[in-house]
Amino acid sequence: MTIRDDSALDGNAIGGLLLEVFGTEMTAAVAVCASCGASGPVAETVVFLRAPGTVVRCRSCGAVLMVVLRRGQQNCVDLQGLAALELR
């Protein structure tokens, strides 16, 4: 499944959120998809800000890589769709 959604952003748009969650710059980190094995910079992932929470999908297969839900002052982070996240 490739995603054709004109409202989709990319991983650049969540640089601030990921900095908040991980405490370091993450858009240049390499994300490896647990579903298809594709790897590429977080900046090149497909991002939906208006889903319930922030949803990050694989540009190759469309699988969900990450979900970040904000609850009050807390962020709940689901990274199940990632095989690896390699900081550069």
Partner 1 sequence: MAGTAVRGRLTWQVATVETVRDETASVRTIGLAVPDWAGHTAGQHLDVRLTAEDGYSAERSYSIASAPGEPVAITVERLDDGEVSPYLTEELRSGDEIEIRGPIGGYFIWTGDDAATPLLLVAGGSGVVPFRSIIRHRHNLGSDVSVRLLYSARSLPDVIYRAELDDAGDGVAVIFTLTRQQPPGWTGHSGRVDQRLLAETAWPAHQDPLTFVCGPTPFVEAMASGLVELGYPAGRIKTERYGGAEAP
Give the H or E element holding residue 28: none
Continuous H helices in the chain: 15-22
Q: Which is nearer to partner 1, 8 or 83 (CB)?
A: 8
Q: Shortest gap between Cβ of 40 and partner 1 (angstroms)? A: 8
Helix (H, G, I), strand (E, B) or coil at 86: strand
Q: Shortest gap between Cβ of 3 and partner 1 (angstroms)? A: 10
Indicate the residue type of 33. Answer: C
Name the site residues for partner 1 (rule: CB under 8 A): 5-13, 15-16, 19-20, 23-28, 41-44
Q: Shortest gap between Cβ of 84 and partner 1 (angstroms)? A: 17
Helix (H, G, I), strand (E, B) or coil at 74: strand
